[in-house]
């Protein structure tokens, strides 16, 4: 992998990740951009203890542009975009409309490929491996920022999820606090350790592999399963067999196998509802340990992949119980979801 760091016209950082060591990335950003103006503010909910980002400047962000005006495509034929080069492998840049900025954290956009009409599932194993290296490198870089407590790489795919740019891409949020979801996980891990002397994540993965009924893919270095208490109609958790707190700790064997396992999962997601159905909308979320939290080394890196589509043509909406009280009601039994995901394996 070759890494090239440069700047956009307004001073935002842009990083190219290339498969070829001889790649040259020196095209300047020719756009007449003014400085980025953000209004990000973190407010604390006194009742729940949650942090809420207030970012009114995001109302002006790009919204469903036509394909020939996509800001994530390369700059070609006189049309300038966020990527000055006429082609690229993987590109990461600071979001011009960030939810978090300055002392309130940082937001980055990760472009998986220059091909606008592609998706992550269409990448080769080599390309998917390069994205993993980019996620890992960004985690390492952002960990050095004094205001950052936790790094969250994720992908939203599909208009139903709320995606406003069709180009295959994800994002990275660098939070200045430990997120509520991670705080709950860490609490459960501490309680389990106190009660049993064992690691909760290790016990959870061992249980799923032993019982087997919810396992979707079981490789030498990764295991994917539908969780026992899945919140979403089709939800898969992907764990490295050797526990590590974040992406930086993956060994070479796990890095090599990851593209095989993950690409197969994404392809199966697109087959869940049968031929002729539109691509399955999903959220793919990396859960990493906070950098300075108590119990960090008991945390287990894992990826959670889920869709809000519950059956053909129908979505799972978060209504009263889910949105009002955070109590999920799942219409698809986890065992049935796992069985379906095994049925649609690649030939």
Tokens of 8: 């956009």
DSSP 84-115: -SS--SEEEEE-SS-SS-GGG-EEEEEE--S-
- Whether 221 is a known active-site residue: answer no
CB atoms within 10 A of CB 84: 22
Q: Which two tokens stand for residue 1?
A: 């992998």
Report the b/e string of 176-205 with b at 16+ CB within 10 A: bbbbeebbebbeebeebeeeeeebbbeebb
For 50, other C-beta atoms within 10 Å of its C-beta total: 13
CA distance 195 to 107: 38
What are the residues whose beta carbons fall under 8 Å from the beta carbon of 339, sequence distance 6 or more? none
Asked whether the beta carbons of 179 and 152 are under 8 A apart, the reply is yes
Which residue of the set 64, 116, 167, 169 is catalytic?
Answer: 169
Give the contacts of 14 (CB within 8 A, at least 6 positions apart): 5, 6, 7, 8, 29, 82, 83, 84, 91, 92, 93, 94
Angle between helices 200-211 and 180-196 (to 10 degrees): 80
The residues annotated with a catalytic role in the active site are: 169
């Amino acid at each position: 992998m070759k890494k090239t760091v440069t700047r956009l016209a307004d001073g935002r950082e842009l990083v190219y990740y290339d498969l070829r060591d001889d790649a040259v990335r020196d095209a300047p950003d020719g756009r007449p951009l003014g400085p980025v103006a953000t209004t990000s503010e973190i407010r604390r909910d006194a009742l729940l203890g949650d942090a809420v980002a207030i970012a009114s400047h995001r109302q002006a962000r790009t919204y469903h542009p036509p394909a020939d005006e996509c800001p994530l495509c390369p700059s070609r034929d006189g049309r300038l975009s966020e990527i000055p080069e006429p082609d690229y492998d993987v590109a990461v840049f600071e979001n011009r409309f960030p939810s978090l900025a300055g002392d309130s954290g940082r937001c980055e956009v990760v472009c998986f490929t220059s091909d606008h009409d592609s998706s992550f599932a269409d990448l080769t194993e080599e390309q998917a491996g390069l994205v993993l290296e980019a996620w890992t490198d960004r985690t390492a870089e952002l960990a050095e920022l004094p205001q950052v407590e936790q790094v969250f790489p994720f992908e939203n795919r599909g208009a139903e999820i709320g995606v406003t740019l069709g180009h295959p891409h994800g994002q990275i949020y660098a939070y200045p606090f430990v997120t509520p979801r991670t705080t709950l996980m860490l609490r459960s891990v501490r309680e389990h350790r106190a009660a049993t002397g064992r690691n909760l994540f290790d016990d959870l993965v061992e249980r799923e592999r032993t019982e087997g009924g919810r396992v979707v893919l079981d490789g030498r270095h990764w295991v994917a399963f539908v969780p026992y208490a899945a919140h979403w109609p089709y939800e898969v958790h992907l764990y490295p067999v050797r526990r590590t707190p974040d992406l930086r700790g993956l060994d070479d064997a796990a890095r090599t196998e990851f593209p095989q396992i993950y690409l197969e999962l994404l392809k199966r997601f697109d087959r869940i509802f049968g031929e002729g159905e539109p691509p399955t909308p999903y959220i793919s979320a990396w859960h990493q340990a906070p950098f300075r939290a108590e119990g960090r080394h008991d945390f287990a890196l894992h990826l959670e992949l889920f869709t809000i589509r519950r059956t053909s043509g129908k979505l799972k909406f978060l209504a009263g119980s889910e949105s009002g009280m955070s109590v999920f009601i799942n219409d698809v039994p986890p065992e049935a979801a796992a069985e379906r995901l095994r049925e649609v394996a690649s030939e």
